[in-house]
Amino acid sequence: MAYKIGVIGDRDSVMPFKLFGFEVIYAVSSKQIRETIESMARNNFGVIFITEEASELATETIDRYKSDVTPAIILIPSHEGTKGIGLKEIQDNVERAVGQNIL
């Protein structure tokens, strides 16, 4: 089964992902972001990239999918820069897998 890749966030941050053939959804409100994540999870998306700003509006929804294999929800910086949330998530996952923070 082939999985799709989706990107959620503000227009300026996610538009470049269209060049790679990813499904891009512009969402800025909490309700839009939550509904988009749920929809993508139901429709065979293996990876969902979401901007750090958008992720702050849907933390409960994202937390529900953290222990699932698919979809993998990856936080990315917006066009305005990073808040460090995505890097912190990666460090936490590496620490859980290895037993210590090697990054």
Domains and CATH numbers, the chain: 4-98 (3.40.50.10580)
Chain centre distance of CA 53: 10
Omega within 30 of 0 (cis) for the link into 71 = yes
Most distant CA pair in the chain, distance: 38
> How much is the pLDDT for 98?
75
Token pair in block for residue 42: 């139901």
Distance CA 53, CA 77 (A): 8
The pLDDT score that the predictor gives to residue 85 is 73
Residue 98 CA to residue 78 CA, distance in Å, equals: 29
Q: Enter the pTM of the model.
A: 0.82
* Residue-level pLDDT, tens digit, the chain, 103 residues: 688 999 999 999 999 999 999 999 998 899 999 999 999 999 999 999 999 999 999 999 998 988 887 898 989 888 776 777 767 777 776 776 677 666 6
